Amino acid sequence: MKSRIADLRCKEIINVTNGCRYGYVGDVEVELDSGQICALVVPGRLRLFGLLGREEDRIFPWESVRRFGEDIILVESGALEPGRQERRRGRERERKEKNL
């Protein structure tokens, strides 16, 4: 199946095990060297109509994606916890610095 990254933005992420709806894909993390998708990012919900900012973004590693449908993406596990998200971003920054 061929698909563009822009097509992913129209798809909703749903947990296979409990049916929890996380929201729509807002961004994609891509490994630039290989061109492979590393994770799907769902933006956090607005707090008090956006006046109090947003909740943390939810990052779904590519390994957790199980199926793509016409308008949904099924994932097996939940998003990475905020602490793991920061560690992952830190590792990615270190990798980029090493390559420079």
Higher pLDDT, 84 or 58: 58
**Is the pLDDT at 38 greater than 80, yes or no?**
yes
What domains can you pick out in the chain, each with its CATH number? 5-99 (2.30.30.240)
Residue scoring higher pLDDT (63 or 90): 63
Count of alpha carbons within 13 angstroms of residue 76, beta-carbon side: 7
- The answer for residues whose C-beta is within 8 angstroms of residue 72's C-beta and 6 or more apart is 11, 12, 13, 14
- Considering all CA atoms of the chain, what is the largest pairwise distance in Å, rounded to the nearest integer? 43
- What average pLDDT score do residues 54-77 get? 89
When comparing pLDDT for 67 and 35, which is higher?
A: 67
Comparing 16 with 89, which gets the higher pLDDT?
16
- Give the model's pLDDT for residue 54: 78
